[in-house]
Structure 1
Amino acid sequence: MAIITVRIPDELKLKMKQLNINWSEEIREFIRRRIDEEERRKKIKEALEIIKRTPVSVEPGFSAKSVREDRDSH
């Protein structure tokens, strides 16, 4: 397991000591969530780029026309 070092103000360290919290686990979990969030953002961005490059395969107004036809058939 790798080790990272973070510098924090002394006041913050004192407040941390007063609480019964496993700070290492809290920080690990935060990092995991943050990585997941960034990976999702990257995948969304890539998907949007693919969509932008994909030619439109239906004519404009197709959806509205289809809904109208379906409503009229009942």
Structure 2
Amino acid sequence: MAVISVRVPDELKEKMKKYDINWSEEIRRFIALRISKEEKKRTLEMMHELLAGGTPAEEGTAKRYVREDRDSN
């Protein structure tokens, strides 16, 4: 496991000591959650870019596909 250091103001460090909280675990969870959100954001941006470059479907295409699917059953 890698080690990172975080500097916090002395006042904040004193407040942290008052609580029985595993700060290392809290920071690990926060970092994992933040990375997950960023990955989702970038994935959505890539999807938007891919879709923006495509040719739009003709009007009524979705309706036609739904009708064909219903009629095939």
Which TM-score tier does this pair reach, normalised by the shorter chain? 0.7 to 0.9
Match of 1:5 in 2: 5
Aligned 1:25-64 pairs, distance under 5 A = 25-59=25-59, 62=60
> Following the alignment from structure 1 to structure 2, what is the Cα–Cα distance between the partners of residues 58 and 28?
48
Match of 1:69 in 2: none
> How many pairs align?
62
> Following the alignment from structure 2 to structure 1, what is the Cα–Cα distance between the partners of residues 37 and 29?
12
1:8, distance to aligned residue in structure 2 (A): 0.5
In the alignment, does 2:34 pair up with 1:22?
no
1:30, distance to aligned residue in structure 2 (A): 0.1
3-state secondary structure, aligned to 1:19:
coil
> Following the alignment from structure 2 to structure 1, what is the Cα–Cα distance between the partners of residues 21 and 11?
17
1:58, distance to aligned residue in structure 2 (A): 1.4
Q: Letter of the aligned partner of 1:38 in structure 2?
A: E
> Following the alignment from structure 2 to structure 1, what is the Cα–Cα distance between the partners of residues 39 and 47?
12
CA-atom RMSD, angstroms?
1.3
Q: Letter of the aligned partner of 2:5 in structure 1?
A: T
1:43, distance to aligned residue in structure 2 (A): 0.2
Gaps of 5+ in 2: 64-73
